[in-house]
Amino acid sequence: MKILISPAKSLDYKSALPTANHTLPFFLNKAVQLNASLKTKSPAELQKLMHISEKLAELNWERNQQFTTSFTTENARPAVFAFNGDVYSGLDAYSLSESELSIAQQNLCILSGLYGILKPLDLMQPYRLEMGTSFGLNGQKTLYAFWKEQLTTHLKNELSSSELVVNLASKEYASAIDFDALNTAVIHPVFKDFKNGKLKIISFFAKKARGLMTRHLLKTNAQTTDDVLAFAADGYAFSEAETNDATQPVFVR
């Protein structure tokens, strides 16, 4: 099973690491190319490009300037321990065992605007480049144009025969994959909460739920759709009644 998740804007480069193991990103050379272009942009240009505050633009300008092609444990950190958003709160990678981290390394794919696809233990230097940013190379105007064919081909090559793909990434990041071209079963879990008497997707809760499901899939070494449907955490459970499309199972609480 391959599990896709999004990165996070918030980063943590201070917490003690639970493992010394690390690897290098598959598309490191592409990240270097993208950074070389980003490095030419001023803080004001980054602010306009990324729709961020002046303070964040200054921070990310500094990150772009400090980016180096020599990745070490001094200037980089395993991705699953570097991202610090709602998905990663649900995943809680720090409490996974060594064997569960090994399963994650084989099965979990973190989509990234700068690095393309990251394995959990891939070293990454701090950055900000959302997949939806209107930015590209060689005449391409978007990161989707830059990444889509490369990421889809890479993921397809990583898949074994009939291996299931579970898409727990946001729409922004999932749009960087051509799922039809994978030629395998793909499911896109949906998480809904009751609000004002109605079931709705509430972004904050849905993000954490994606992390909780990722954790469930890793801890159980899930392989099948039934393993996905067995997810039950933080009050969520699969609802057959609310599911109209088998490729988009709905979990409610």
Within 8 A by CB and 6+ apart from 243, the residues are 249, 250
The dihedral through the CA atoms of 199, 201, 207, 213 has a sign that is positive
User: What is residue 97's predicted lDDT score, i.e. its pLDDT?
Assistant: 95
User: What is residue 138's predicted lDDT score, i.e. its pLDDT?
Assistant: 82
Counts for the chain of helices (H) and strands (E), in that order: 10, 11
Tens-digit pLDDT profile for residues 147-185: 999 999 999 999 998 999 999 999 999 999 999 999 999
Q: How many CB atoms lie within 10 A of CB 18?
A: 15
Mean pLDDT calculated for residue range 201-210: 96
By CB neighbour count within 10 A (0-12 exposed, 13-18 middle, 19+ buried), where does 53 fall?
exposed
Mean pLDDT calculated for residue range 213-225: 97
User: What DSSP element (H or E) covers 65?
Assistant: helix 54-66
List the single range of 45-49, 83-87, 138-142 with lowest mean pLDDT.
Answer: 138-142
Tens-digit pLDDT profile for residues 79-111: 999 999 999 999 999 999 999 999 999 999 999
Q: How far apart are CA 23 and CA 123, in angstroms?
A: 6
Q: How far apart are CA 156 and CA 186, in angstroms?
A: 12
User: What is residue 80's predicted lDDT score, i.e. its pLDDT?
Assistant: 98
Closest CA to 210 of 93, 100, 90: 90
Tens-digit pLDDT profile for residues 51-70: 999 999 999 999 999 999 99
Q: What is the mean pLDDT of the chain?
A: 96
Task: Please say if the pLDDT value at position 26 is more than 90.
Answer: yes
User: What is residue 197's predicted lDDT score, i.e. its pLDDT?
Assistant: 86
Tens-digit pLDDT profile for residues 181-205: 999 999 999 999 998 889 999 999 9
